[in-house]
Amino acid sequence: MRWGVIVFPGSCDDQDVFDALKRDMGQKVKFLWHKDDLVGHFDCLVLPGGFSYGDYLRCGAVARFSPIMHGVVEFARQGGLVLGICNGFQILCESGLLPGALVRNAGLQFVCQQVMLRVEETDTPFTCEAKKGQLFKIPVKHGEGCYYADPATLERLRKNHQILLRYVDAKGRASPSANPNGSLDNIAGVCNETRNVFGLMPHPEGACNMLLGSEDGRKIFSSIAAACAQREHRHA
Amino acid sequence: MRDERAAQFTQPLVTSEVVASHGLTPEEYRKIVKLLGREPNHTELGVFSVMWSEHCSYKSSRHYLKRLPTEGPLVLQGPGENAGVVDIGDGLAVAFKMESHNHPSFIEPYQGAATGVGGILRDVFTMGARPIASLNSLRFGSIDHPRTRYLLSGVVAGIGGYGNCIGVPTVGGEVYFDECYDANILVNAFTLGIAKKRRIFTGVARGVGNPVIYVGSKTGRDGIHGATMASESFSEEKEQRRPTVQVGDPFTEKLLLEACLELMETDCIIGIQDMGAAGLTSSSSEMAGRGGTGVELDLSRVPLREQSMTPYEILLSESQERMLLVAKKGTEDEVKEIFDKWDLDAVVIGRVTDDRQFRALFHGVEVACIPISALIKEAPVYQRPVERPKLQDQLEQLDLSNIAEPTDLGSTVKLLIGSPNIASKEWVYRQYDYFVRSNTVVAPGADAAVIRLKGTEKGLALSVDGNSRYCYLDPYVGGALAVAEAARNLACVGARPVGLTDCLNFGSPENPEVMWQFSQVIEGMRDACIALKIPVVSGNVSFYNETDGVPIYPTPTVGMVGLIAKVAKVVTPWFKAAGDVVVLLGRTREELGGSEYLKIVHGLVKGTPPWIDLRLEQAVQSCCVAAIEKGILRSAHDISDGGIAIALAECCISGPEKPLGVRIDMREMIRGDALLFSESQSRIVVSVAEENLQQLREVAAEHHVPMQVIGAVGGTSFVIQPLMRLPVDELRAIWSAGMTSRIK
């Protein structure tokens, strides 16, 4: 399969995603420049973390107008897999590919720490290799990661099983103290209704090697790889 | 070509008041007139004032800085460039430097600290190195001072705001509180970058006719005379200086970083330099100085934020996120194309000349013409008077028999572990992205930070250290201890030092007592560097850290870099498993002078700091590294502020998992408080699995290091026989809340 990592001006974790996929996961990866059109075949596009356009207007608000985003929206509409991490999640929300919004952390400060996540759904291409209720240790690092959606949207997310990851404590409980940023319902990651676009605040690319303290992030990338292999198999 | 604007522009007259307001002495002015063979015009006066400022010329410190050893087999670039460079094998090199941003951070903490980070990042990537890790050393006034909370929150947010946005992890640092910084805080920022050994760039202007290209942000009126401000002391009216603090734009710097590194992959660049202190003036003249050339600038081509700026303002602006480069003639379009891609300005504003003059034109009219040598080589060098402070003898006197030993040493441990300088700094470092670039193996909170080097088995360890109370009591010993402790921090994770950078923060050099402190600190650092074989590859001096005539404690901060052969073998300070044996490497002596204990418990800053035997220090460090490389150790932690009792408590409670208890039984023929809180040097507390104890004994014997089994890990209590038994959960709670509870 082929991965594309989109580089916006101000992307910071683009190289991290690239290295995790290539060095730790042995995947084929290519950088894509935001000013270019999306050309070529890709199975999964990753919008990495960072501070696109300095986060100056509102996180992700300017990047959604980058030329490549037309191609990304079209790619998603046709069922292509899109993964947004941190700032990438914010861009996906701004561009309407994912519901809800990410606002200033409840504590008003930037937060960098390891968090525990609970896998809530496994019938998605992003979590198919995990077990329901499985715990991941993955770092977060953001100033605006508090997930917000209006009550109707939140209800729809629950009903459609679109909440894929929640912040939990070491025992797997979604308690207020386990929530690093005040996200509604401890939400750490959501997918769209058609389950091919996924955004999360934690950084799975920072948890793909035991030297960094965890390999749990690999499960997300390996799920995507497995889902793509299965798709190809079906098409063949 | 003369035009209207040039006709409108007239230079103000240079009077003796104008000279004085530029911080130049009458003798210095006479020297300028002699060098020029005429009176300078107002623009030229401005140029001289910044180039001859303490900040740019090191006029008071240069004489002493020469004493520091700067050479070593691995040193590729020593002091004098934008950053020092050291060979780390595999065709790779690291560039690093530390710089102060003290005055701006006190005036406007967020922007002052942010632009400090921005400046040091540029110093590193201008060498062709991609920044991969930052550290900082922060000193604030007493935690209870009404202004401390505002300054602390602002500085920390500023460092995070800039570093996080540009995507360089802040992997470690130190935060200290002391009354001596009440009105003069210290913000020292360190950055390390990685480069290919054969692709190091320097700030040099060569090749007559080569274009001088301005890249990055536009020039505004911010920061004019920042270098001069940093060369003055504070008094009440300095509060009015806010406009001399620059405003940072990390997003633009991120673009500038990527554009410069992309350009460095091509063959266009002759030399490149950051426009830092004294902006366009210092970058262009220093580049010409190193190249033995001249430079001619057309100021009307400089991209401006405000159209009516004068040549004086353009030359002296310290607007951030700007670089100056000299490119090969004919590559202008290639340079422009790369900067276009990143939406940045790249404008040819001048050329390299062969007449060794610094020449500036403004709409066709020459507004400054100064020999380069007058700005650089001829800058004054002072050998200022030195005098041992009259109070020094009194400071050194400490009679322990007058100091009552606390009856409840357990309570004393609790008091110390919750005191602001020892308590957890998580509140600070969780505001920094210490993870970006996915290299962080040991995060903030350990003796040293460790990052891996992707594509190799190696790692780098980084630490920053300096105890100013020691330097106040004995600047020679304090200087040596700053170097020794930074190196010991590296040893505790298994790294061997390859080089250091320093920030030397002192009061006014015009005060002979301050100059005595400065000269003594340098001698102490020198002796430690020689003994431990660590070259000084870059650094910075910050004088005039005083308010209304009262200087801060002499504060050298040492940033040190170490190499780890196999990063997978790294150990961390905290205990790992019940049943492990706890061992002390080194010896405890009755040394309470200058200790945290004496300050916190008895309110005393007195006595002589702990003595150091540099040979033993070297042996202890080598022993620890050897044991880590052999894979014997489970943990290693340097014993410093608060002594062995605090070091042991930290081993129990500072890890990411649940705290572990310990049971200690140690004997020395000294009083109890000295046994627990003495800050004797050259000590490391380690833990080993019982089956490895014999092997550790052999390694210690080989290195002639005294070692003593002092206890075992296990249980839920912190026990020191027969003095105390404290629940580790309680200790952790006190330690975690110690700092935050006093700033909220």
**A68-121 pLDDT per residue, tens:** 999 999 999 999 999 999 999 999 999 999 999 999 999 999 999 999 999 999
What is the model's pLDDT at position B655? Answer: 95
pLDDT score of B248 more than 70:
yes
Of A23, A113, A143, the CB nearest to B454: A23
**Could you say which of B251, B252, B436 has the minimum Cβ distance to residue A141?**
B436
b/e map of A190-223 (b: 16 or more CB within 10 Å)? bbbeebbbbbbbbbbbbbbbebbbbebbbbbbbb
- How many residues belong to chain B? 744
Taking only the tens place, the pLDDT of each residue in B422-474 is 999 999 999 999 999 999 999 999 999 999 999 999 999 999 999 999 999 99
Q: Complex ipTM, two decimals? A: 0.96
Q: Tell me the pLDDT band of B744, cut-offs 50, 70 and 90.
A: confident
**Interface contact flag, B431 A111, Cβ < 8 Å:** yes
The confidence score (pLDDT) of residue B7 equals 53
pLDDT per residue as tens digits for the range A35-83: 999 999 999 999 999 999 999 989 999 999 999 999 999 999 999 999 9
Per DSSP, the residues of B582-643 read EEEES---S--TT-HHHHHHH----SPPPP--HHHHHHHHHHHHHHHHTT-EEEEEE--TTH
Facing A112 at nearest CB: one of B166, B430, B441: B430
Put simply, the answer to whether A9 touches B254 (Cβ < 8 Å) is yes
pTM above 0.80, yes or no: yes
Mean pLDDT of B27-45: 96
Over residues B569-574, the mean pLDDT reads 98
> How do residues B313-362 score in pLDDT, each as one tens digit?
999 998 999 999 999 999 999 999 999 999 999 999 999 999 999 999 99
The H or E element that residue B481 is part of is helix B475-491
pLDDT in tens, B516-545: 999 999 999 999 999 999 999 999 999 999
**pLDDT reported for residue B563:** 98
Is A193 catalytic? The answer is no
Contacts of A112 in chain B (CB under 8 A): 429-435
Separation in Å, CA B75 to CA B29, B89, B260: 39, 12, 24
**Shortest CA gap A196–chain B (Å):** 26
pLDDT of residue A119: 98
Is the per-residue pLDDT at B230 higher than 90? Answer: no
Which of B607-611, B634-638, B664-668, B723-727 is least confident?
B664-668
pLDDT for position B11: 84
Across all residues in chain B, what is the average pLDDT?
A: 94
* SS3 of chain B: helix, strand, coil, percent, to 5: 40, 25, 40
Maximum Cα–Cα distance across chain B: 88
Question: Tokens 């063949």 appear where?
Answer: A236
**pLDDT per residue as tens digits for the range A126-185:** 999 999 999 999 999 999 999 999 999 999 999 999 999 999 999 999 999 999 999 999
Which residue of A12, A34, A111, A181 to mutate against B (max B Cβ within 10 Å)? A12
pLDDT of residue A158: 97
Q: Inspect the interface and report whether the beta carbons of B164 and A143 lie closer than 8 Å.
A: yes
pLDDT digit string, tens, across residues B150-208: 999 999 999 999 999 999 999 999 999 999 999 999 999 999 999 999 999 999 999 99
- CB environment A225-235: b (16+ within 10 A), e (fewer): bebbeeeeeee
Catalytic positions of B, written as ranges: 55, 101
Helix (H) or strand (E) holding B732: helix B728-737
Confidence check: pLDDT of A235 > 90 = no
Residue B456: phi, psi to the nearest 5? -135, 175
CA gap A223, A220 in Å, rounded: 5
**Mean pLDDT for the stretch of residues B616-626:** 98
Q: Which chain B positions have a beta carbon within 8 Å of A109's beta carbon?
A: 157, 430-431
Predicted local confidence at residue B706, as pLDDT:
97
Q: Which of A141, A215, A216 to mutate to test the interface with B (most CBs of B within 10 A)?
A: A141
| Residue A103 contacts B where some CB pair is shorter than 8 Å | no
Residue B239 confidence (pLDDT) above 50: no
Cβ–Cβ contact A141 with B under 8 A: yes
Query: And the tokens for B348?
Result: 């040819």
DSSP B180-236: GGTTS-EEEEEEEEEEETT--------STTPEEEEEESPB-STTTTHHHHTTS-B-G
Residue B120: pLDDT band with limits 50, 70, 90? very high
From the list B161, B430, B436, the residue facing A111 with the nearest CB is B430
- Phi–psi pair at B514, nearest 5 degrees: -65, -40
CA of A61 to nearest chain B CA: how many angstroms apart? 15
Q: Is there a catalytic annotation at residue A203?
A: yes
| Chain B residues with beta carbon closer than 8 angstroms to that of A15 | 437
Q: Which pLDDT score is estimated for B306?
A: 87
Q: What is the pLDDT of residue B632?
A: 96
Q: How confident is the model at residue B308 (pLDDT cuts 50, 70, 90)?
A: confident
User: Does A13 sit within 8 Å of B436, measured CB to CB?
Assistant: yes
Residue B573 tokens read as 């300070």
* A-chain residue closest to B165, CA distance: A51
Q: B420: cis peptide before it, omega within 30°?
A: no
- pLDDT confidence of residue B242: 46
Mean pLDDT of B548-572: 97
Compute how many other C-beta atoms are within 10 angstroms of the C-beta atom of residue B401. 6
